[in-house]
Every structure is written in C-alpha cells, then in structure tokens.
Amino acid sequence: MIKLRIAEYRKKHDLTQVALAKRLGVSFQTISKWENGKNYPDIEMLSDISDVFGVSMEELIGKKENNLSLEKQSSSKYWGKKIDYLLDTRKELWNDDYLEFLVEKVWKIREAVSILDYGCGFGYLGMKLMPLLPEGSSYTGLDISKELIDEGKKGFQNSEFDTEFIQCDLYEYLPKEKYDIVISQALLRHSERPETIMKKMYASVKTNGLMICIDVNRIYEEAGYFNSRLEYNPFDQLRVFESLWSEELKNGGRDYSMGSKLASLMNKIGLKDIQSRMNDKVIVATQLEDFTSIKEAKGWNHKYDNESYHRIRTHFLQKGIPINEIDLYIDRLKNNLIDLNDPSYEGCISFFRGMVITWGKNTE
C-alpha cells in the first residue's frame, strides 16, 4: 500500500493534526486515518493538501521513493506472494487444441524431448505440455521463488511424468546439460535484462534444438478487451497505459511490447529459422456465470471499493500520469465492474490475450 507523506510534511510545518484538519475543513480523525494508511484523500483533497505544504502531488505521494523496482519484481519474495494471482491469470491463457496443434503440426515433435522452462513459476507450461509430448519426455523448471518451485513439485508429485524443479537466479544459473527445447512464458517482459536471459536460454539449447519464447504485447491485450455496453475506443483505453509504460521503460522497468520484439531479439543473438504465431485464445462472455474467466484474467476478481480506487489514483499519480487520464481510466473500470457483477447483463464481452509465440533453431 502507498503511504502518503502527510505526517512528514505536517511536522515540518509545525502543524498538529487538529490544525491541519481545520485548514482543510476535515476532522482530525480523517487526518489520522490518512497518515496511518487506513483511508485516502480524493484527488481534489490531494491537491489541497499539496497547496498547504507547498509541494507537488508527486512529492506528497513519494513518487521517487515508492517506485517498485524491477529488482524487487524479480525477487523470490515478490513472486512467492503472487501464487494466487498466477493461478488465476494462467487458467485462460491457452486453448488446449491450439497448443496441441503447435506441438504436433508446427513444431512436429515426434520423439521424446527434454524441456527446460526458464521462469517456470508453478510449472504451468509443464502441466500443459507434458500430456501432449511423446512418452519419455522430461521437463525441468527453473524459478527464483521457493514458494513457486514448491507449488510446482506439489502439482506433479502424483504424476507419471519425469520432472525436476530447481530454485535459482536465472542470471546465474549454469545448466549441467543441454536441452532439446528451452522455453519461457511471460518472463522476458518482467526481466531487467531480457537479452541476457535470452542468451542464457540459447546457450542451453542442443544443436538443432528449439528455443521458444512466449510473451504478451500489452497493447494488443488492452485493445483486445471489448464490452458491448460501453463505447469502444482503444485509444482512450491505451492512453493511461501509454504514459505508464513509457515511464517505466525509460526508468529501466518492464517492456510491455516484448511480445512484438521476440523475433528481433532472437535474430540478434543468432537463432535461425525464426517463426512467430499469435495465440488464438479469446474469452467470450455473455452472462454472469461466464464472467469469472474475464475477471480472473484481468485481475478483477477481488472486491473494489472507494479505497481501492483511491489507491489506483495514488499509484498512477505516483507514476506521473495526468489526472484527467486517470479519471477516464477509473470511470471505465467502474462501469466494467458494474457490468461484470450484473446478473441481468445483456450484451457481450470479449477479451483477446495478445500473446505472441516465437521460436527459432540453434544451428550451431
């Protein structure tokens, strides 16, 4: 949760909670709740508080101090706490028949293969791939999070498949052997040094083996959400994210267009016969019981209240997003959530995941 710097600036100005409350026209209990992070002021009040202290809203919400670094996002603790999120958002990533089509008709895997999965999480790709592969195939998953590795081991403990899970730092891991297929999914856009990871993956592939990278282009994903009861304007939907993604990438953060860059990066590090496809998964929902998949995929399956929207506003302000763009985004989010929880909804919602599958061959 974001903690505003109200107490810090109040003390610098020798103001008590009561004195500040009088200046702002609120109760001192309200000031106390703001300072303890139990409640959040709205946008107009944030502006008033900033004026009292003579600072910008960015300073008030600690913009420079609160940026979540990519290092933290790559840490064991960070992703270890995201198990429920990962379980939810991975449920609707693939149509099983399309993955089977790739294995049998595109990659033409006819004999047993060894697979190494970089950033395996709880072994989602292994769960999807192993039943489709020839008998005798093996799966090894690598991840920095012990919690996710333990979840992966648990998921396969009663299976007949040959699996291994290794907790490690992907930047430092040195494989003991080479593999027929080295794969990753939703890893590279979260990586601080994606090209370094790809070079590590390439070095792990046998001669004539495949390196497969699967990642989303978030622009496709955001533009691919459609609710027939709301006006569809992908440019409005993307505006807030354009500012957010540009700021993060400029500061060394995630690259939300990674899905589109995979082929170029593979070419750069020396892979041959590079090809790419789009995942064909589109979630379609027309009534309340169908909306669970949409909510899970979008991360909307938890309760949203006024405090939730205050946190979103504060987070986006912290990232330097203009207030008018934030308000448009939140209004649209509120209307979407009303529809997704409306048992009398009459319309159609569709969601295209925008996931790009790119592969190349190690011919050395």
* Residues 78, 315: Cα–Cα separation, whole Å: 18
Token pair in block for residue 307: 């405090």
Q: What contacts 232, CB < 8 A, 6 or more positions away?
A: 226
Secondary-structure class of domain 72-216+257-271+353-361 per CATH: alpha beta
* Residues 281, 346: Cα–Cα separation, whole Å: 23
Longest dimension (CA), the chain: 76
Q: What contacts 254, CB < 8 A, 6 or more positions away?
A: 70, 73, 189, 190, 245, 248
Placement of tokens 């999914």 in the chain? 185
Domain boundaries, the chain: 6-66, 72-216+257-271+353-361
Digit-by-digit pLDDT tens for the chain (364 residues) are 446 788 888 888 888 999 898 888 889 888 888 888 777 787 678 878 887 887 777 677 765 443 444 444 444 454 444 555 555 566 678 888 999 999 999 999 999 999 999 999 999 999 999 999 999 999 999 999 898 999 999 989 888 999 999 999 998 888 889 999 999 999 998 888 899 999 999 999 999 999 999 998 888 888 899 999 998 887 777 777 777 777 666 666 678 889 999 999 999 999 999 999 999 999 999 988 889 888 888 888 888 888 888 878 887 877 777 778 888 888 889 999 999 999 999 999 999 988 999 999 999 8
Classified by CATH at the fold level, domain 6-66 comes out as 434 Repressor (Amino-terminal Domain) (1.10.260)
pTM (predicted TM-score): 0.76
